Structure 1
């Protein structure tokens, strides 16, 4: 019986099962990832991560969503694998190379340049991504940003008044978004941005790192805030810094919950 070691970690409650396959190869299918992510019959997680060898970086990070589909980027997972590595590293992802540094118990990730053009999100057809002329019921005029994965951001008066469990899947699967989309609802307060996220392929989560980055970029583009800005999610707070034309920097904590073994 082949046992495979894994780590259970989370960033602000956004939780992951992480396998380190840098020395011993691990073939993992989408169906297996979905079964492992099941909170009733598997280990349970929002995303499943496999650390693999890379010719361009310290390692490659493969990301499976809860539904078994793959994602190119995940900010909270990136912080977790940096903490697991225990040193400053460069990580290859489907969205490109990301740099991670450890300092004072927190992890800072250089998330790269945000995608702001309609075809970088991607959208199904050309439109202004700063004030999109579209809407779903009371959610209208969003901003679109790519952080290696597609995000649409709505600024609202009260994030908890939005039926995100119902509207999130509707927007995620709208034909306007050929690769589906992560749905963010944000409110600007005196202490920063307050955010709830419906994650593509995962649903509601305690935190979404790329969602926090995309929302901060959207707010800065609309001149609502300047960086760095605290982004408060149900699971805790991330600090996002972005100067227009530059890279997005994300800083936040990680938690190692336990280590285990499983027969796949």
Structure 2
């Protein structure tokens, strides 16, 4: 019987099965990912993450040409077995797993670099939270967004009136997102995300959908105002999850963009730091122009052995 040693971890309850295959000897098939992620017949997770040396992965080897310290590659798969470019919560949990394996250390305040299919990502650790340099965000349909304020429409089950699509903003965080805003936390709770939101035009490679409500609270941090939003997310290939790291970044980026558009005279400063409440907890998103950092917890909760032939 083939056995697979694994660790279970989560970042604000966005949960993952992780395993160490640093020498690239394991055949991680889509079928096996689905079985491991199954919450009734498997271990259960939003995704599966494999640790592998970057030199064994084409994307990782390419990253090593410009980032020679990106020794380890995060091979991430969605629960449905599909390959994903990036996962912001997954990066933090991946870093915590590398730390537990003794492959990296943050004890001296080090910043590490890891490879992902969305490119190299830096990770540091402070006060128990992991801070990830997520790279730049962008709007794939910027011209339309700048003209109309939106570039897509989204219809959600349970969001009244259901026949009235909401304007959405497409945001690229290395993976695709579409963000809409609702008026209240009551509306946010009422949405049925067991049914996938309908996005028009239909994204060619699918999209994560974030539903956001701005909260009327701000915080002073080092003399600067910090914004505050709450969100829920429907992830492509997974369904609703308790949290989505890239989704939190996309949501904050969209709200920040819309706020800048409303206050283009600079009369009201728009925060560059945002607290994002998700069903699984809270993360923080910080901006420097178009560059994004994501900070939040990562927890390894269990380890064990999966009997693959029994899945």
**For 1:223, what is the secondary structure of its paired residue?**
helix
Counterparts of residues 239-254 of structure 1 (less than 5 Å)? 239-245=284-290, 247-254=291-298
Aligned residue among 133, 156, 168 for 1:110: 133
Q: Which residue of 2 aligns with 1:122?
A: none
Partner of 2:102: none
Structure 2 residue 146 is matched with structure 1 residue 101 = no
TM-score normalized by structure 1?
0.90
Structure 1 position 89 matched with structure 2 position 125: no
Deviations 1:185-205 (A, max 9, x none): 000012310000001111011
Structure 1 pair 3/241, CA: closer, same or farther in 2 (3 Å)? same
Q: How many residues align?
A: 254
- Classify the secondary structure of the residue corresponding to 2:237: coil
Could you say which residue in structure 2 is the equivalent of 1:153? 179
Instruction: Report the CA distance between 1:135 and its aligned residue.
Output: 4.3
Structure 1 residues 133 and 261 mapped into 2: Cα distance closer, same or farther (>3 Å)?
A: closer
- Uncovered stretches (5+) of structure 1, i.e. residues with no partner: 120-125
Q: 1:6 to 1:176 in 2, by over 3 A?
A: same
Q: Which position in structure 1 is the counterpart of 2:253? A: 217
Q: Which runs of 5+ in 2 are unaligned?
A: 56-63, 65-69, 100-104, 106-110, 156-162, 218-227, 261-269
The answer to whether the 8 Å contact 1:76/1:209 transfers is: yes
Does the residue aligned with 2:253 lie in a helix, a strand or coil? helix
Q: Equivalent residue for 1:123? A: none
More helix by share: 2
Alignment RMSD (CA, Å): 1.9
Q: Alpha-carbon deviation of 1:133?
A: 5.2
Corresponding residue for 1:128?
Answer: 145
